[in-house]
């Protein structure tokens, strides 16, 4: 390895082959003892509604000063806070600063020694322990923070303080929106100075958001003294400590919007006070809720694969409500506001499939979002003078296109991405009640493709012109294979469902589908990315998506050739999902060693030690939920060989020898739940009873 690459790896702190192969690593609890390493990245926790990155200090007090690249400016994201451009960061509502004189506990004040921080995937809890050497003495600090999985509007923080001499510290409970430029119309509901819960309401975009906090010292709820600012409030409490004594400080906070409660002020205050008064009960319920979710997981003999699977599932589960009544995560989930959390095909093609397979309740969030935004998709089509629905390439609350005029919005393959997700949900969940709604979406998507298609009379075929490929380096091209194949799938499925439900059938669906042109190079025996493709550099997986997830029916030789052909054509810093797709396809084609090599190709994207993911090895889009779910699909649909069809649940395992046994616990097909266990090339599929 060259010296330059060594320096880059040291800075990025990517997962090395040695750390990946470490059999002694803890696959459930990730630990950091040196947060000053240049490549350190803060851990992420979430509960399906709220997401938060926890800095080295153990709570979000220091944001935005130490915000990471592309992180939410406040450190916190929440489903349902948006404006016409996309999602907006939430209030920093869980900060609790510890001060001694003019010094505040943080990385650039005094000295932080004997440091250890850990993230437990099993219960989404970050524990931080260290000694803070400040002017006059030493304070031992141990904190735990979690976002309640059972009471999703609530965050809980407990800090144990032990001083080596008798003194007094000051605790600052801050709720801060100063890093949110669009926040305005702040109002405070502090009632009297002696009232323990403090509440503020801010208008953020079109949403009114209320935040409430309440604190206790050694079990006694304290009101403290409060001051307000233009975009937040600060409450301070004196905390005297005797030498050798341990003081326990607890803080509970809650966030509510006016769309989640008719009275968000009192809902937030009630939730925060109840959580503090019942801290142990809330934590017990929180742990139980996570334990229920983890009944659906991956087990692998290889410790590195196990740790990555745990991390990926934890980050996916952290971004989705398991009851189906929440939001849909953007490319970085609730860990960051990259791309303003717009909804791309990242949702339908990448994060949806593992959610649908392991937790249909979580997957229902996607279904409800796409059904609810159908009218916006119709507006997009109508604005183009076309029939049907065109789902936005970058969507938000309304379903309208958020990047009109940019060439990327011509990625009309998004209609296929949406349809295949809806259809997969139906097959996995067995939920017949959603069929009429999703059939309507599918029919409107098919109508769009019919109207968008151009008939080439000379060649007696239909074509799709001036599209942007999934590979965004190539736009304004004709007949992208993935787009055209996708249109065929949508139109045929629309016809099938209309007949099944006795709905009106558009005769043009099958007419156009049967004559849709697909670019195939029969000399090279490959699927061409688009008509006229000249082997130029590509950004991301494209033609290979026809093999998976689309499962097109072409000869085996064409499939193998296509999968290998495009690998050397990517830019050097290719994005994470490309290798995952090639690895998935290789496993499904029986090229198991090649699949394992593609999995190893994902390691430079993984930032240690909390196993966050970046879009490419060199950029800092962290944590890329899209890429992590591509990796999960390689494990589930590639190595485990899970293939969902309308007729049956097919299993064709192709587990690399390096991985050993592989189990998928709690997978769904047509409403039934199964455990899949694979060892030595053989598998056992067992239906689970309630």
DSSP string, 22-42: -TTS-SSEEEES-TTSTT---
pLDDT in tens, 260-274: 999 999 999 999 999
* Residue from 399, 427, 407, 412 nearest 473 by CA: 407
379 falls within a domain: yes
447 falls within a domain: yes
Q: For residue 155, give both structure tokens.
A: 């965050």
301 falls within a domain: no
**360 plus 262 within the same structural domain:** no
373 falls within a domain: yes
Q: Supply the DSSP string of 518-535, one letter for each residue.
A: --EETTTTEE-SBTT--S
pLDDT at 608: 84
The residue range of the domain holding 634 is 349-607+629-644
Low-confidence residues of the chain: pLDDT under 70: 1-11, 69, 191, 690
Q: Are 512 and 450 in contact (CB under 8 A)?
A: yes
**94 plus 195 within the same structural domain:** yes
User: What is the Cα–Cα distance from 612 to 71, expressed in whole angstroms?
Assistant: 13
Query: Which residues have a Cβ under 8 Å from the Cβ of 506 and sit 6 or more positions away?
Result: 443, 446, 447, 450, 494, 495, 498
Number of structural domains, the chain? 2
pLDDT at 619: 85
User: What is the Cα–Cα distance from 29 to 360, expressed in whole angstroms?
Assistant: 26
**93 plus 186 within the same structural domain:** yes
User: What is the Cα–Cα distance from 58 to 130, expressed in whole angstroms?
Assistant: 10
Question: pLDDT exceeding 90 applies to what percent of the chain?
Answer: 87
**136 plus 213 within the same structural domain:** yes
Last residue of a domain, one of 250, 271, 293: 293
Helix axes 414-429 and 360-372, enclosed angle (nearest 10)? 140
- HSE of 662 in the Cβ direction (CA atoms, 13 Å)? 27
pLDDT at 185: 75
**393 plus 520 within the same structural domain:** yes
**449 plus 567 within the same structural domain:** yes
679 falls within a domain: no
3 state SS of 409: helix
User: What is the Cα–Cα distance from 337 to 163, expressed in whole angstroms?
Assistant: 39
**399 plus 287 within the same structural domain:** no
- The CATH number given to whatever domain includes residue 518 is 1.50.10.10
> What's the alpha-carbon Rg for the chain, to the nearest Å?
26
Cis peptide bond N-terminal to 46, omega within 30: no
Last residue of a domain, one of 276, 293, 310: 293
pLDDT at 650: 97
- The CATH number given to whatever domain includes residue 174 is 2.70.98.40
99 falls within a domain: yes
Q: Are 96 and 63 in contact (CB under 8 A)?
A: no
User: What is the Cα–Cα distance from 492 to 126, expressed in whole angstroms?
Assistant: 49
pLDDT in tens, 202-260: 988 789 999 999 999 999 999 999 999 888 999 999 999 999 999 999 999 999 999 99
Q: For residue 414, give both structure tokens.
A: 């998004």
Helix axes 360-372 and 435-452, enclosed angle (nearest 10)? 50
600 falls within a domain: yes
The secondary structure element, H or E, covering residue 625 is helix 625-633
Helix axes 435-452 and 414-429, enclosed angle (nearest 10)? 160
**282 plus 403 within the same structural domain:** no
- How distant is the alpha carbon of residue 240 from its chain centre? 42
Beta bridge partners of 159: 143, 249
User: What is the Cα–Cα distance from 337 to 427, expressed in whole angstroms?
Assistant: 32
pLDDT at 383: 96
**482 plus 578 within the same structural domain:** yes
Query: Which residues have a Cβ under 8 Å from the Cβ of 690 and sit 6 or more positions away?
Result: none
Q: Are 359 and 318 in contact (CB under 8 A)?
A: no
Last residue of a domain, one of 293, 327, 357: 293
**180 plus 86 within the same structural domain:** yes
The secondary structure element, H or E, covering residue 441 is helix 435-452
342 falls within a domain: no
What DSSP character marks residue 588?
Answer: H
**592 plus 451 within the same structural domain:** yes
**265 plus 366 within the same structural domain:** no
| Signed CA dihedral, 620, 623, 626, 627: sign only | positive
pLDDT at 66: 78
The residue ranges of DSSP E strands in 278-430, in sequence order, are: 297-300
């Amino acid at each position: 390895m060259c010296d330059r690459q060594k320096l880059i790896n040291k800075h990025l702190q990517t997962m090395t082959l040695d750390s990946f192969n470490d059999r002694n690593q803890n696959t459930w609890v990730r630990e950091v003892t040196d947060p000053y390493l240049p490549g350190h990245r803060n851990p992420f926790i979430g509960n399906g509604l709220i997401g938060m990155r926890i800095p080295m200090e153990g709570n979000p007090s220091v944001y935005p000063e130490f915000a990471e690249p592309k992180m939410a400016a406040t450190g916190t994201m929440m489903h349902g806070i948006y404006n016409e451009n996309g999602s907006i960061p939430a209030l920093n509502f869980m900060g609790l600063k510890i001060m001694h004189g003019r010094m505040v506990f943080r990385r650039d004040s005094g000295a932080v020694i004997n440091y250890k921080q850990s993230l437990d995937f099993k219960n989404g809890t970050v524990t931080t322990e260290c000694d803070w050497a400040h002017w006059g003495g030493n304070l031992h600090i141990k904190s735990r923070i979690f976002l309640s999985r059972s009471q999703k509007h609530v965050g809980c923080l407990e800090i144990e303080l032990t001083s080596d001499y008798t003194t007094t510290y000051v605790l600052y409970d801050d709720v801060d929106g100063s890093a949110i430029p669009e926040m305005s119309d702040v109002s405070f509901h502090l009632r009297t100075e002696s009232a323990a819960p403090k509440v503020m309401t801010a208008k953020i975009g079109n949403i009114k958001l209320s935040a409430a906090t309440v604190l206790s010292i050694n079990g006694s709820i304290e009101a403290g003294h409060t001051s307000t600012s233009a975009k937040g409030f600060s409450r301070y409490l004196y905390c005297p400590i005797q030498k050798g004594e341990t003081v326990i400080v607890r803080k509970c906070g809650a966030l509510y919007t006016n769309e989640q409660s008719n009275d968000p002020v009192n809902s937030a205050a009630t939730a925060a006070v109840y959580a503090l008064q019942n801290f142990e009960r809330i934590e017990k319920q929180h742990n139980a809720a996570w334990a229920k979710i983890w009944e659906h997981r991956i087990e692998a003999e290889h410790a590195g694969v196990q740790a990555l699977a745990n991390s990926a599932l934890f980050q996916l589960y952290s971004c989705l409500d398991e009851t189906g009544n929440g939001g849909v995560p953007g490319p970085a989930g609730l860990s960051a506001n990259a791309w303003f959390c717009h909804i791309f095909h990242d949702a339908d093609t990448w994060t949806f499939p593992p959610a649908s397979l392991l937790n249909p309740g979580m997957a229902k969030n996607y279904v409800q979002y796409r059904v609810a935004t159908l009218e916006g998709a119709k507006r997009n089509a109508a604005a183009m003078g076309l029939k049907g629905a065109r789902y936005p390439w970058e969507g938000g609350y309304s379903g309208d296109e958020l990047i009109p005029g940019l060439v990327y919005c011509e990625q009309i393959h998004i209609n296929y991405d949406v349809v295949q997700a809806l259809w997969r949900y139906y097959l996995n969940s067995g939920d017949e009640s959603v069929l009429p709604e999703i059939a309507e979406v599918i029919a409107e998507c098919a109508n769009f493709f019919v109207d968008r298609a151009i008939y080439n009379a000379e060649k007696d075929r239909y074509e799709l012109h001036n599209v942007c490929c999934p590979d965004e380096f190539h736009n304004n091209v004709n007949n992208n294979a993935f787009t055209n194949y996708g249109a065929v799938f949508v139109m045929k499925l629309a016809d099938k469902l209309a007949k099944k439900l006795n709905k009106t059938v558009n005769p043009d669906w099958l007419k156009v589908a049967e004559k849709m042109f697909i670019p195939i190079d029969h000399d090279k025996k490959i699927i061409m990315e688009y008509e006229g493709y000249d082997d130029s550099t590509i950004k991301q997986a494209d033609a290979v998506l026809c093999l998976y997830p689309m499962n097109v029916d072409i000869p085996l030789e064409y499939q193998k050739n296509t999968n290998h052909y495009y690998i050397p054509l990517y830019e050097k810093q290719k994005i994470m999902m490309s290798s995952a797709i090639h690895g998935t396809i290789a496993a499904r084609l029986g090229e198991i060693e090649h699949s394992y090599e593609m999995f190893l190709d994902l390691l430079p994207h993984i930032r240690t030690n909390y196993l966050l993911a970046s879009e490419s090895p060199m950029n800092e889009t962290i944590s890329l939920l899209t890429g992590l779910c591509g990796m999960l699909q390689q494990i589930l649909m590639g190595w485990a060989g899970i293939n969902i069809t309308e007729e049956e649940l097919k299993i064709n395992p192709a587990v690399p020898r390096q991985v050993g046994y592989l189990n998928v616990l709690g997978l769904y097909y047509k409403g039934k739940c199964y455990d899949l266990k694979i060892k030595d090339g053989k598998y056992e599929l067992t239906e689970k009873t309630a």
